[in-house]
Structure 1
Amino acid sequence: MQQQPSPQALTGVRVLDLSRVLAGPWCTQTLADLGADVIKIERPGSGDDTRAWGPPYLKDADGQDTSEAAYFLGANRNKRSLAVDLSRAEGQAIVRRLAGQVDVLVENFKVGDLARYGLDAQTLLAEHPGLVICSITGFGQTGPYAERAGYDYAVQGMGGLMSVTGERDDLPGGGPQKVGVAVADLFTGMYATVAILAALRHRDATGQGQVIDMALFDTQLAMLANLGSNYLCSGKAPGRMGNAHQNIVPYQVFEASDGHLILAVGNDRQFAKFCEIAGQPGWAADPRFATNAERVRHRAALVPMLEDVIRQRPRNEWLAALEAAKVPCGSINSIGEALADPQAQARGAVVPMAHPLTPDLRLIASPMKLSATPVAYRHAPPLLGQHSDELLREAGCSEEEITVWRQRGVIA
């Protein structure tokens, strides 16, 4: 007997995805991974902007580049694509029909833009009071910057993240630095997911839908976490610390005799263990270094001493000794090394999926490990308009309507 697939937590939830690029698609991919049926609305001919954000591109079975950018593939699995022209009245009618058949609508249009198509939140909620609408913008629906376009890079700067990222200003290479991935987008996508799940719970209990107003800028401010709290408590804005930690010492990168390693001492007991391994047990008893608070105050004295002793031994020797003593540490891997790491392999960090253009697509797996309702990889990231006919039939459209719309360029 064939084993039935495990149920998924969001099976039965339908999502209309009018978003593009990263924050919105990251949110809807997460919902899709959890079992939601996500309908991705795209512009005929071009689709989501990230379809063209390459190279690199997916390679076909012959090793040749396709038109599918790796960027797009990383944020759009488990979705179905409907290519429809929202500038056309027929296209607007199609999306309004779909809005009445879903639980959630996610969009990242500029403030006010969807009103032109009769798809603004006020109109849709009047017609469908149980709908959950999540709007993702750079600066939110209110405030003096509401009408500005919002991009992750600019928000990292405006929201304070680049003021605490990068090497210290007094060292070579010092100055503002963005994070290597679009963290404001990604965090906004994740916060949006949480908000949508909360709104669905409320809708299921009361029948009432609502509007979720998500902004990259708001999220970036929230992401400041302990550093934002540091400022509010002290009145002093934290500066850039390179690879060091604002509140913990030693907690940074050090150079061994043959490479770099991370030492992440989190408490005084771990520091004492490190000192034993380093052959310097007296450091742990020194009043300047005995507690984390004193180590932070005397960072300038302690760190050069640590640098001198750590560079005397090879990296792997340090890592083995520190791991055996349960002192937090780590290597600094390339992305390839990280994905090839035995732990990544054991956790299934890379998943294969059959794509229409190649049987050998590999994607980074979802990190969510649910025992009863596991993530499932049902659909490869779709080709543009791959599911247009299928989705329109499911929405109750006739074959004649579909044919006419395609002839007129309303759908693709």
Structure 2
Amino acid sequence: MSALRGTKVLELAEGVAGEYCGKLLADFGAEVIKLERPGSGSPTRALGPFAAQGDDPERSGLFAFLNTNKYSVTVDLASDDGRETLRQLLGKVDAVIDDHAVDWLCEVGLDPERLEQDWPRLVVASITPFGSTLPEDRTYAQDLNVFHSSGWGYHTPSAPDASKPPLNAAGRFLPSYESGMEAALCIAASLYEQDDSGLGRFIDISMQQVLTARCDYVVAQMVAGEMAVGPERTAYDLAGPAGIFRCRDGYAYIWMSTPQHWDGLRQLLDDNAWMDEFPPNWLERGCTPERVALCRKHVAAWLLTQDKHEVAAQAQKLGLTLVAVNNGRDLQESPQYQHRGFFAEVEHPVQGKALYPTVPYRLSETPACIERPAPLLGEHSDEQLGALADASSGGAA
């Protein structure tokens, strides 16, 4: 039994945020019908990485990941027939996912301000870069713009060189994934409410607000008035020796901010002689640029002789926050991930077999499950639209 079995969702989204939202719901058992453009399909079908085999538009690994367990129906929403099909589908579903630009829903006949009158039971989630009410100069943005406008750019990297620009986060679509998850949670909560009230709601997701909410405590301190708000990126720099260091077989990240961390490092390095120059509480009361530089110099030289996973395990036993920087192979071979069954083998009809990430949480009685690969373009058009035709003519659905 799946947590959302019996729930029907219409996915109008054509971006990573909305498609990831739909994937999360579909993997928990919701019936997610994805409307796609005839011929080309969703724009995410044109985004890599691409499988070595197969023909477009079925080679996108990104689309394959984002659309497991869904049904693909091709509909031309620019045509009168397409709009009528959309209207019929809206009468059959519990929720709608969209991530187009502001006002797009109005263009296809789904005005958020008229939902209560036209579709009182419908839950509609709209995911946009800055929400549905925004200045005109922010009507178009990509994940990169959202990332930096949310505050995250102020500490990428965490010890910034003020002469260089901020960096982007790891991965192309961090704002989209976070916003998609936020939307999925809001939809699930609204569906729970819908069961009692019989009413839907319009969920206005601002990707900027979502990512700001995920930001460090520094933003909270700024909001609370405990830290000055300004353009200086050094506000995020805690001036300690934290950072990413090269190891013999890759990289490791160290975080140190307390005397306990320093004690752990001393044990890890067998109380090397250079450490005698540092007072026990220097990370809290004597964190000078000279000490930080000296600490980093010695730590960097020592880690060059270490294997990242072995040193991480040793450090964590000593209470030192040191972790390996994992690549894709590391994650696949991780004993913890294998024990948790985090990766699932999925066979796509065109791309073949591959390991797909699942979710980092588990519902004991109703776990998420990838039962079907992402659909081929228009794979379920006849089935889904045929059922609509039967229903409208009074036949069996």
Query: In structure 2, what is the equivalent of residue 94 of structure 1?
Result: 85
* Separation (CA, whole Å) in 1 of partners of 2:85 and 2:197: 28
Q: Is the 8 A contact 1:139 1:145 kept in 2?
A: no
Do structure 1's residue 9 and structure 2's residue 6 form an aligned pair?
no
State how 1:2-401 maps to structure 2 within 5 Å. 7-57=1-51, 59-60=53-54, 67-145=58-136, 148-166=139-157, 168-170=159-161, 174-181=164-171, 182-232=173-223, 233-237=226-230, 246-247=237-238, 249-256=240-247, 260-265=251-256, 267-280=258-271, 289-290=280-281, 292-294=283-285, 297-298=287-288, 300-312=290-302, 314-316=305-307, 318-397=311-390
Q: TM-score, normalised by structure 2?
A: 0.86
> What displacement does 1:161 show?
2.1
Inter-CA distance 276–359: structure 2 relative to 1 (3 Å threshold): closer
Q: Is the 8 A contact 1:288 1:294 kept in 2?
A: no
> What displacement does 1:85 show?
0.4
- For structure 2, list consecutive stretches of 5 or more residues without a partner in the other structure: none
> What displacement does 1:356 show?
2.4
RMSD: 3.2
Q: Is the 8 A contact 1:111 1:147 kept in 2?
A: no
Give the aligned residue type for 1:42: E
Q: TM-score, normalised by structure 1?
A: 0.83
Q: Is the 8 A contact 2:158 2:237 kept in 1?
A: no
Query: 356-365 vs 85-94, which deviates more?
Result: 356-365
* Separation (CA, whole Å) in 2 of partners of 1:266 and 1:204: 48
Give the aligned residue type for 2:48: G
> What displacement does 1:42 show?
0.7
Inter-CA distance 169–160: structure 2 relative to 1 (3 Å threshold): same
Q: Is the 8 A contact 1:168 1:175 kept in 2?
A: no
Q: Is the 8 A contact 1:270 1:327 kept in 2?
A: yes
- Deviations along 1:388-410, one digit per CA (max 9) or x if unpaired, are 1111233344799xxxxxxxxxx
> What displacement does 1:247 show?
4.3
Secondary structure of the 2:11 match is strand
Number of aligned residue pairs: give it.
Answer: 388
* Separation (CA, whole Å) in 2 of partners of 1:282 and 1:294: 21
- Deviations along 1:140-176, one digit per CA (max 9) or x if unpaired, are 111314871231112122333223213755389x421
> What displacement does 1:34 show?
1.2
* Separation (CA, whole Å) in 2 of partners of 1:135 and 1:277: 50
> What displacement does 1:302 show?
3.5
- For structure 1, list consecutive stretches of 5 or more residues without a partner in the other structure: 1-6, 401-412
